[in-house]
Amino acid sequence: MRGSTVLPGTSQGNGSHPGTGGLPIHRLEVPMPNALPFAIGTFDTIGPMSRASFPHRHTFHEIVLVTGGTGSHVVDLTRFTLRPPHLCFIAPGQVHYWDGVRGLEGCVVVFTDDFLIEHPADRALLRRLGRRPWLELPERDADWAARLVAEMDHEYRTGAEGFGGVLRALLHILVVRAGRLPAPDRIHPYGAPAPEAARPAPAAARFVALVSTPRALPWSVRDCAGHLGVSVSHLNEAVKAAMGRTPGELLRQARVHEAKRLLACTELTVRQVAGRVGFADPAYFCRFFRRETGATPGDFRRGGGDIHHDHRIASIAPPGPAA
C-alpha cells in the first residue's frame, strides 16, 4: 500500500504544498486482493503527510492518538489546541492540517472503507465522530485508548494467523468506545483563516453520506442526482471539487464495497450478489469485479480478502520529494 497526493484538476501530485485554486487530495492505493487496506504507526513511520501543515483531504479514514506536543490541529475550519492525550477522527473528505506543532508524538491509524466490510455500521459511526473529531481524554479513557492502539500496532507488526480479524475487532471496540465519549467543550470555530475550498459543497457532503450508507443505492449518477435534487453537472462539479474523484468513481467504489461485503459475510450466490448491487448479468458483474479488484468474486470469497505476503510498510509517504 502506498500513498499519493492529487491536486484538484490533475491526475497525480507529489505531495508538495498546494498551489492556488484547490486542496490536495491524499489517497491510499491498495493493490487488491493481496494487501490489507490498513496501516498503523508513528507520525514518522506513516510519513510526512500524517503531520502536513497545509489544508488537505483524504479518501480514507484516519484516527490519531496524540500523546505529546504543542500547537493546534484544524479540522473543517475549527481549531483545536493540543492538550494531550487526544483521540482525533478524520473522515474521508474532511479538511485538516496541523498548525505550529512542536514535539508531535502519538500513533496514526489509516484505513479504507474496504477494511470495514465486517462492520458496516462503523462507517456511519466514524463519520459521526468526524463531526466532533477532537476528543480530550481523561486518564481512565486515555489508558484504554492507549491499550487498544498498542494491541493494534502489535497485531499489525507481527502479522500472526488471523491478525486481520483481530485488527478489525480492536478497531471496532475503539470506535464504539470513542462514540460514547462526551463531545469536546473547548471548540473555537474559525480559529484560523482557511481557504473557502475547505468548505465541502452541500451536494458533495450529501452524496458522500448517500454512498456511505450500508443499504441499497441508486447505482447511476443520474439517479443519485435526482435523489439529491440537483443536476448531474452540479453533482459532478461539487463531488470532484470536494473529493478529487468523480461521482461515477465513488459509485463504482461503493458498488464494489457492497459486493465484497456480501461475498465475505453472506452465503448469497454470485448471481444473487450481482443482483443486489444492480447487475442483471452475472457474467458482466464478474468482469466488473475483476477489473476493479484484480480478483474474481469466487477468488475473493475463497481468500476472504486476506493478505498472503508481508503486509507491513515502512511509510505511506507520497512518492517523489518529501512533503
Query: What pLDDT is attached to residue 7?
Result: 39
pLDDT of residue 20 exceeding 90: no
CATH class of 2-189: mainly beta
In the block, residue with C-alpha cell 475503539: 174
Q: Which residue has the higher pLDDT, 175 or 292?
A: 175
Look at residues 54, 49, 137 and name the one whose alpha carbon lies nearest to residue 315: 49
Rounded to whole angstroms, how far apart are CA atoms 80 and 122?
24
In the block, residue with C-alpha cell 513511520: 45
pTM exceeds cut of 0.85: no
Backbone φ/ψ region at 71: left (φ over 0), alpha (ψ -120 to 50), beta: left
Domain ranges across the chain: 2-189, 200-303
| Local confidence band at 213 (pLDDT 50, 70, 90 cut-offs) | low
pLDDT tens-digit profile of 143-167?
A: 999 999 999 999 999 888 889 889 9
Given a contact cutoff of 8 angstroms between Cβ atoms, the answer to whether 51 and 321 are in contact is no
Q: What is the DSSP letter of 21?
A: T
Given a contact cutoff of 8 angstroms between Cβ atoms, the answer to whether 159 and 144 are in contact is no
- Residue 303 parent element (H or E): helix 297-303
Domain 200-303, architecture per CATH: Orthogonal Bundle (1.10)
Q: What single letter denotes the amino acid at residue 71?
A: G
Look at residues 186, 245, 204, 174 and name the one whose alpha carbon lies nearest to residue 28: 245
Minimum mean pLDDT among 44-58, 139-153, 163-177, 276-290: which range?
44-58
pLDDT tens-digit profile of 89-126?
A: 998 878 899 999 999 999 999 998 888 887 878 888 89
